[in-house]
Structure 1
């Protein structure tokens, strides 16, 4: 039984897109790439991923078209929806280990982290990640917050003797096409000065990223815990390119 890769999209500022990125990655790798995926929702106290799963399940009881699509998807793949483990940050690794002790195993474990890096439980769990990807936008407040988070991880967590972090990368999210490209290039120079690397893939600002299923109708959905992102909506989203880059780094 090989060890899984522990991966987190993490930052301390809301609105950067870490939960959406976690869900999209989990659904794409599980339903499309057929990898064994576990999502650990330790974004206490809101538990955003678990809340989305509950909402998806509730809509299957209301929207017959959506329920049929989900049933056909799961039957064709012969799988249940990927598991979501809900816990406090300080309990996360213990609960994952307990699943392994029971014989469960995964290719990748995705953590949706609480943003309060000053919490000892959060800091300890962050230190046990293999890879951390920090979403950042051109918004000044988000940018400064994400940069401060990355520097704190670099200076106070990466240096711990029992830290497992192999790589940490900044990730441009919600890139506005109206912004000049050199704006992002200039910010990346700042990251480089802080010894922080940035992923090549930049995710554009698209409403489709938050497009969920409705209570009626059969519109295509992008963010869902029971289905993969719709193929048509994937085009031009930058997300397949991002996953290819991430998988290359993680070597999955």
Structure 2
């Protein structure tokens, strides 16, 4: 992506400049309500988007999420939905995660809580400006930087994507095999899963290669797991052979 390239090209220079910057400058001020992620939906939305008008319908997250990362992802979802920019914010957040993960120096910079908050904020602001991110994404990343939560941005981004997928009626199915599925088998599996989910849902297939399963296939979607791997079958057979035989049964 062009945007991802812009982010990557900016990260290294910004990191070097800011890590060497003086740590004596005053810490930037961020609204106290942003410090703790355990806030209500109405409070969450005001942090990253324009104030709601009295007639504005209440926006709810499509999937309940818990924990710090879930709360941040939910807050961002509400703000992006109010700004009618869910897809744009999702794309920008993914670009940021992908680009910064490839810059080892910046990855360490994000995780180092010894770096003053104002330095983290300055770095993220510069990156977002260069990448031309939307205000919602920029403000959100600044909040993470100020609160020392940048080290969790990849997890937050994944949970945010789960929310946007649910909003679009998409269900991710993770298919694990030893070798890539042939195109015809992939199509057949996708059609089967689509039939199980029914209308109104769209299957997004993600393939994973894992030689440790020895063979067969493992399918995960929603809260369900279909494990038909050779590794699991071998373990089941082993348990069966170890169980004592009751000849009186």
TM range (shorter): under 0.3
Structure with greater helix percent: 2
Looking at CA atoms only, which structure, 1 or 2, has the larger radius of gyration? 2
TM-score by length of 2: 0.23
TM-score (norm 1): 0.23
